[in-house]
């Protein structure tokens, strides 16, 4: 399905996740964050988003626990930055597929 984000027609799945990571940019991230009730994105948000994108390209499994152990943010900080589903929301904003463990 197509979705218009910041003037771009982007392919997303039924849950609103980008189907192609290469279509992502910071403007799209800001638009998705606003839709998710988060934002404006701060430097702390962007560090998490960059980390998630990097881990996705490496094929590393993403979990809240692994994020907490990354040294980037604590689990509490992750929940503070992305309330109401921190890994699910941060992954959507980062333009990567929904992590396997998220419902």
pLDDT digit string, tens, across residues 85-99? 999 999 999 999 988
Give the CA angle between residues 40, 8, 43 to the nearest 5°.
25
Q: What percent of the chain has pLDDT over 70?
A: 97
Flag whether 99 is in a domain.
no
Catalytic site residue from 21, 44, 46, 102? 102
**Does the bond joining 48 to the residue before it have cis omega, within 30 degrees of 0?**
no
pLDDT band at residue 103 using 50, 70 and 90 as cut-offs: low
* Entry pTM: 0.92
Flag whether 101 is in a domain.
no
The per-residue pLDDT for 102 is: 67
- Annotation says 20 is catalytic: no
Flag whether 77 is in a domain.
yes
Average pLDDT over residues 26-39: 93
Task: State how many domains the chain has.
Answer: 1
Flag whether 10 is in a domain.
yes
CB-based contact 92:56 (threshold 8 Å): no
Residue numbers of the domain that contains 42: 2-94
The beta strand positions in 6-81, using DSSP E, are: 8-11
CA–CA gap between residue 61 and residue 73 (Å, rounded): 17
Where b means 16+ CB within 10 Å and e means fewer, 17-30 reads bbeeeeebeeebbb
Flag whether 100 is in a domain.
no
CA–CA gap between residue 18 and residue 94 (Å, rounded): 9
Q: Dump pLDDT digits (tens) for 51-86.
A: 999 999 998 888 888 888 888 999 999 999 999 999
């Amino acid at each position: 399905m197509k979705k218009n984000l910041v003037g771009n027609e982007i392919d997303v799945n039924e849950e609103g996740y980008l189907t192609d990571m290469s279509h992502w940019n910071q403007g799209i991230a800001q638009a998705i964050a606003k839709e998710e009730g988060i934002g404006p994105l701060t430097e702390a948000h962007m560090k998490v988003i960059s980390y998630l994108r990097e881990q996705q390209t490496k094929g590393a499994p993403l979990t809240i626990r692994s994020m907490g152990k990354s040294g980037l943010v604590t689990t509490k900080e992750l929940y503070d930055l992305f309330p109401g589903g921190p890994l699910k929301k941060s992954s959507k904003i980062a333009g990567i597929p929904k992590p396997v463990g998220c419902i």
